[in-house]
Structures are given as C-alpha cells and as structure tokens.
Amino acid sequence: MTINLKNFLNTKPKISKMGEFQELKPIDGLEISSYSADLYKNGRDDIALFYFKEGANYAALYTTNSITSQTIEWNKKSNKSFTKGLLVNTKNANTFTGDNGLESIDVLAKNLSRILTIRESKSDEGVSETVKIKDLLFASTGVIGEKFPTEKIVSSLQSLVDKLRDDHNKLIWIKTASAIMTTDTKPKLAYEEIVVGNKILKIAGIAKGSGMIAPNLATMLSYIFTDADLSSNILKSLLKRAVANTFNAITVDSDKSTNDMVAIFSTRKIKIGQNRSLDDPIIQKFELALKKICSNLAKQVVVDGEGAKKFITIKIKNAKSLMSAKKIAFSRANSPLVKTAIAGEDPNWGRVVMGIGKSGEQVDKNKLSNKFGEFEVTDKGKVSDNYDEQKLKEYMKWDSILIEVSINQGDSEFECYTCDFTHDYIDINADYRNPS
C-alpha cells in the first residue's frame, strides 16, 4: 500500500480536544479508496470513492439552502433508494457552474460506470449486471463558481478504482476521510458496534467540515456506513431523528453551505429483518448508536472550526417551547460579540445576556439565570450574589466552555455547540481560494 504523506501534513496547527482517532473496522460489502487528481498544488489526495459491489440501500439529507450544487441536483433527480457507489471531490464545489456543471457529472458518471463494470466483469464471481449510471451518487466541496475540473478527475478514475479495498483498516479510513477535507485540519471519524444476539452490527462514519457551518441539513459532508440490513425508509427516518440534535445543533459561523449532505448506507450483509418498525428494540438500539456517531462527528466539526481554539456548549433550559429554546441558543452561539469575547477569554456575560434578548423570543429578564460552567453569573435580572469575577476569568481559559441559561418560562430545553472567533478565521477565509 502506497501512503501519500502529503495527506497528513498540515501547516495550520490546532489543539485536538477530541482525543485520538477511533479504530474503525471494515464494513462488509464496502470498498473505499482515495487518490490525488492534482486538484491541489501539494498533490494531496482530493477524490474519494465508496463502492458497494452488491449495492446498498441508502438515505440522504441535503442542505436547505435554496442554492445547491450540481452534484446535489444530480442525486435528487435520481430519486432512488439504492446505490452502487459515491464519488466525492474536494477543492471545487461544482456550484453556480450552469449546464457545464451538470454535464461534468454526467461525464464522470459514464466513465466511472464503464470502469467499474469492466472491473466487475473480470472478477472471479462474474457480474450479474453492469454498474448503471443512475446508480451512482456524487458529492463536491470547495470553491463556488469555478469551472469544474472534469478532465483531471476523469483521468484519475482508473487509478481510484484500482485502489479500491475492502480490508479497510484504521489508516485507510483516515486516508479516505482526509481526501474529502478542505480547510479542515484533521479528518473526522467515528465508530460504533451493536450486539444483537450472536451478531455484531457495525456503524462507521466520516465527515468533513470546518467553515460555512450552520444548522439545517446537513452543515457539511458526512457519510455513515453499516452492514445492518435496513430498508431505505428506516434509514431515512433514523437519519432525520439523529441529525436533529447533532448535525443540526452546531454552528461555526452561521453560514449554511450550498453543498451540505449527510447520507447513510446499508450494505445489507447482516440480516436482522427489514420489516422491523421504529419501535422495535433492535432498531432503537441501532438508533442510539447512530446518534452517538452523529454527535461525535458533529462535535468534531465544531472543534475543528476555522481558527477555533475553544469548544462552546450553549444549553437553554426551561424555555416555553423547543423552538424558543433553539432560537435563543443559536442567537447566542452565532453572536460575533459572544464568540470573540470567549476567544479573548473575557467573562463578558453582558454579551451573553444581549444574545438572549436579540433572539426575538419574549423572555422575562427577572426570571433569567445564567451560569458559566459551574459558576453562577446572573440571577433574576441582576448579577448573582455569588458572582466571582476572578473565578470566571480562570474558567474562561479552559478549552471547553459551557454557558447555561434557565429561561424559567416552561420545560423545554435545547443544547447547541459552537466555537470561538479568532483572527485565524479571517486569515483562513481571506485566503480560501488559494489553499496549498
């Protein structure tokens, strides 16, 4: 196996707050690979392929931005629940590229279909059907509005297919997750197992995301794979529920991408009965594991927010409704004043109070209470009697900050995750179109 060391070199240091990479095991029925199509100057891997020799059930959720990439348009037009493969490229978003952008996907589909079909026809098992164009999915991430590099990617497809492996160990997973990164400083991976009788169900997930991150499906690219035999309808329902308080509970800069996509694929290798309902204990067990995967990946995206130094949790308690709690939480999480104060390790709780009021929700300031971590800041419309500025200053030096607000107008709550704003965020985005 040839290792492209350039995939692991990063000139933008970042303190990791999520620990070491998990050990991801192979998913039976899935083959993966990555390759450099020379889209970046440094020669790093920039395209990735996920191939299902026997096909896979899948479900996907896409950005709610009214402007979407040509790859998303292609996927939606297929309107299918079965796929043979997913091709992902970085560096170029294939958004606002007009007819040329759609034509480029068609060219990629025809060439990839041909190469995969030839590969399968040479296999010892033979081939029952060709890899059809309509059974292929695509995803892109990168700069909006630039001509799509069709020729470079097409010329790299044979090498990408030749590198497909089904014995994908931890290193292969890391390589592939690295290949879909843009301004990310590290790949994002998560893994869970479920024991059902004498069977072990595996779930593996990767994600990319660092900037242009805001809720409403799906805030970045994320792909989740399982060998559990689940129907597309069940997968769709489970994914929607898992995303609600994970991927849709994060924000870096309040900007919602044109290319966001979260998808889950079932290779159908471990039979558990497709006709199980959402209330089935096995499905509930699977759902819990899926939520852990999504939560893990979502938090990794926030930790790796462009220029971020601190991970911030905003928790709203006792709100009059879930919608109200969400509005207040994101009003605070998206406030540049709040985020820069935290970056400067300044316990400027007045900005936090401001963030509650600007949400548009009617709150009674005389009922509000605020805490930073375990430290009480405000209580019933005034500074708490227990407020200690020095202790709060020390707390603001932590890598992980919790801001908790009790609205005291109901029993609904919501928790979202964000990061601070540093000068590095400006530097990264000022130079976004010229990454090495």
For residue 436, being part of any structural domain is answered with no
pLDDT in tens, 352-379: 777 677 666 778 888 889 899 999 988 8
Q: Which of 252, 273, 303 is the last residue of a domain?
A: 303
Kindly provide the residue ranges of all beta strands, DSSP E only, lying in 271-399, ordered along the sequence. Answer: 311-319, 369-372, 375-379, 382-383
Examine the domain organization and report whether 18 and 59 are in the same domain: yes
Examine the domain organization and report whether 253 and 230 are in the same domain: yes
Examine the domain organization and report whether 53 and 168 are in the same domain: yes
- Low-confidence residues in the chain, pLDDT < 70: 1-21, 79, 124-129, 210-219, 253-257, 274, 306-307, 355, 358-360, 424-436
pLDDT of residue 218: 47
Q: Tokens representing 381?
A: 């419309």
Examine the domain organization and report whether 191 and 215 are in the same domain: yes
Examine the domain organization and report whether 14 and 30 are in the same domain: yes
Range of 350's domain? 311-419
Examine the domain organization and report whether 260 and 316 are in the same domain: no
On whether the CB atoms of residues 258 and 140 are closer than 8 A, the answer is no
- Residue 219 bears catalytic tag: yes
Domain total of the chain: 2
For residue 47, being part of any structural domain is answered with yes
Cα dist. 404→99, 125, 172, 370 in Å?
Answer: 48, 58, 40, 6
pLDDT of residue 263: 95
pLDDT of residue 17: 40
Examine the domain organization and report whether 291 and 211 are in the same domain: yes
Q: Which of 265, 285, 303 is the last residue of a domain?
A: 303
Catalytic residue among 63, 83, 95, 219: 219
CATH assignment of the domain containing 398: 3.10.20.340
Q: Which of 243, 269, 303 is the last residue of a domain?
A: 303
On whether the CB atoms of residues 301 and 205 are closer than 8 A, the answer is no
Examine the domain organization and report whether 217 and 242 are in the same domain: yes
Tokens 């400006």 appear where? Answer: 426
Pick the closest to residue 315 from 374, 360, 365 (CA basis): 374
CATH assignment of the domain containing 32: 3.60.70.12
Examine the domain organization and report whether 261 and 364 are in the same domain: no
Those residues whose C-beta lies under 8 Å from the C-beta of residue 308, and which sit 6 or more positions away, are: 14, 252, 302, 419, 420, 422, 425
Examine the domain organization and report whether 264 and 205 are in the same domain: yes
For residue 191, being part of any structural domain is answered with yes
pLDDT of residue 1: 42
Count the helices and strands in the chain (H runs, E runs).
Answer: 11, 14
Examine the domain organization and report whether 292 and 359 are in the same domain: no
Environment class of 33 (CB within 10 Å of its CB; exposed 0-12, middle 13-18, buried 19+): buried
For residue 97, being part of any structural domain is answered with yes
Examine the domain organization and report whether 334 and 296 are in the same domain: no
User: What's the mean pLDDT when you consider all of the chain?
Assistant: 85
pLDDT in tens, 186-240: 899 999 999 998 999 999 999 987 655 555 554 578 999 999 999 999 999 999 9
